[in-house]
Structure 1
Amino acid sequence: MDRTPRLYALVEELRAAAPRPLTVAALAARFEVSTRTVQRDLQALMAAGVPVRTTTGRGGGWSIDPAMTLPPIRFTPDEASALVAALAAADASAPYAGAARTAAQKIAASMSGPASTAAQELAARIVALPARTAESVRTAESVRTAESVRTAVERALTENTVLRLSYLDAAGRESDRTVEPAGLLTAEGKWYLIAWCRTRRAGRGFRLDRIMAATSTGEPAPPHDLAALLLGSAGADAVRPTALAALTP
């Protein structure tokens, strides 16, 4: 068995046994390789962020938290190629761009032969023309700030925490806001954080590239209905992308 399929098989073997740990010797016998090879593979999985862990002592071994991983998904070559191409084309300034990039890398790494070639060729055909307006040209420092803002927004939405923002409006006025995030809206290539603004006591949309700084307060955010906050605004007709609709009840 080649290394890439074996890495996936190792994960599934650990998932099947969870929460019981498996020894390196048992895994080596299962895959008919040396214990050294298994140890190297397990270290590679850990370095890649797979939630495998080892415990020492009597009854110890390697295990995985099944709640932190997904079972294998059988993509067709066309589906895998389309996913890699779409994720590779994701705007680096978009929310969750980092996760999209690593997801594309993992899917690409699992492909071989014609499927891998097809994905690479398809991704190479997708290009984007960077905007060159005065507003879109950023210095290296401002790009770094945008990345930190994006990370803070992503975490606040994932962890449901209150954010403190330093925001620059369309007129160039800067203000400090404390907001309760509800979701994200994309329109005409721009991304907006939709949130309940405690300062204005109303729902507001904050363009991500106008957020100068964002920090988590650590305070749990009350739940807000995204559609309700958008009601009466220019984003009232926003709809969930088809690809995401199946993920919601």
Structure 2
Amino acid sequence: MNRTPRLYALVEELRAAAPRSLTVAALAARFEVSTRTVQRDLQALMEAGVPVRATTGRGGGWSIDPEMTLPPIRFTAEEAAALVAALAAADASAPYAGAVRAASQKLAASMSGPASEAAREVAARIVALPARTAESVRSAVEQALTGNVVLRLSYVDATGQESHRAVEPAGLLTADGKWYLIAWCRTRQAGRGFRLDRITAAAATGERARPHDLSGLLLGSAASGALRPTALAPLAPPP
């Protein structure tokens, strides 16, 4: 068995045994490889963000956290290819890009068969340009949105004028390949959109932001007709 299919199979083997742990020796025997190879594979899974962990002592071994893993997902080959392409669109400059890459690794680990092969083939054909937004800026915007706190930023507008603002984030807008932070600007006392690649510095504060309705802030702007993604809902339990 080649390494990539073996990594997926290791995840499935650990998931099937969870919450029990399996020894490296048992895994090596299961996949007919050396214990050293299994150790390297498990380390690679950890580095990819898969929640595998080792326990020491009597009865120790490797296990996977069932609360943090996905059950096997039965994607069709077309669905898997579309998913990889969509995740690749979240390039290094997009908000939550780091989390997207970790999520894509976990999704890939949950695929098997033709879907897994299709995802790998499409991934090998997609490239992305370097990030246009500084990592520190993107991280601060993510913190402000996730924690619902005030964000202090320095911003250069289309005319080249720089200003310094304290804003209360409401959400994100994507249009024509650009990302915008939609927020209540305390300086202007109005809703404003800030293009992420024009934010030169940003810092999330510990001050709680007031809640703002994203649609309300967009009302009357060129983005007032912006569409929301399909609402996420829990999967129905299997019959």
> Any idea what the Cα deviations from partners look like across 1:163-186, whole Å, max 9, x if unmatched?
221122334332222223221112
Distance 1:171 1:188 in 2: 20
**CA distance 1:115–1:233, change in 2 (3 Å):** closer
Q: Which one of the candidate residues 165, 168, 175 is aligned to 1:180?
A: 168
Could you tell me which residue of structure 2 aligns to residue 146 of structure 1?
134
> Any idea what the Cα deviations from partners look like across 1:70-123, whole Å, max 9, x if unmatched?
3332222222233334444555533344555663898599788984786379x4
Consecutive unaligned residues in structure 1, runs of 5 or more: 131-139
**CA distance 1:66–1:181, change in 2 (3 Å):** farther
Q: Which one of the candidate residues 151, 157, 171 is aligned to 2:145?
A: 157
Q: Which one of the candidate residues 152, 165, 179 is aligned to 1:191?
A: 179
Distance 1:221 1:111 in 2: 47
The more displaced of 84-93 and 222-231 is 84-93
Under a length normalisation based on structure 1, what TM-score does the superposition of the two structures give? Answer: 0.71
The more displaced of 47-56 and 12-21 is 12-21
Could you tell me which residue of structure 1 aligns to residue 237 of structure 2?
none
Letter in 1 for 2:221: S
Distance 1:72 1:32 in 2: 23
**CA distance 1:181–1:117, change in 2 (3 Å):** closer
Q: How large is the RMSD of aligned CA atoms in angstroms?
A: 3.8
Aligned positions, number: 231
Distance 1:56 1:147 in 2: 37
Matches within 5 A, 1:45-194: 45-88=45-88, 90-100=90-100, 103=104, 107=108, 115=118, 119=122, 123=125, 146-194=134-182
The more displaced of 203-212 and 227-236 is 227-236
Is the 8 Å Cα contact of residues 133 and 196 (structure 2) preserved in structure 1? no
The more displaced of 63-72 and 226-235 is 63-72
Is the 8 Å Cα contact of residues 173 and 179 (structure 2) preserved in structure 1? yes
User: Secondary structure, in 3 states, of the residue corresponding to 1:154?
Assistant: helix
Could you tell me which residue of structure 1 aligns to residue 198 of structure 2?
210
**CA distance 1:17–1:215, change in 2 (3 Å):** farther
Q: Which one of the candidate residues 228, 237, 246 is aligned to 2:216?
A: 228
**CA distance 1:3–1:160, change in 2 (3 Å):** farther
User: Secondary structure, in 3 states, of the residue corresponding to 1:151?
Assistant: helix
Distance 2:172 2:134 in 1: 16
Letter in 2 for 1:194: I
Superposed displacement of residue 208, structure 1 = 1.2
Higher RCO (CA < 8 A, seq sep 6+): 2
Consecutive unaligned residues in structure 2, runs of 5 or more: 235-239
Could you tell me which residue of structure 1 aligns to residue 13 of structure 2?
13
**CA distance 1:30–1:196, change in 2 (3 Å):** farther
Distance 2:16 2:225 in 1: 45
**CA distance 1:20–1:197, change in 2 (3 Å):** farther
Could you tell me which residue of structure 2 aligns to residue 247 of structure 1?
232
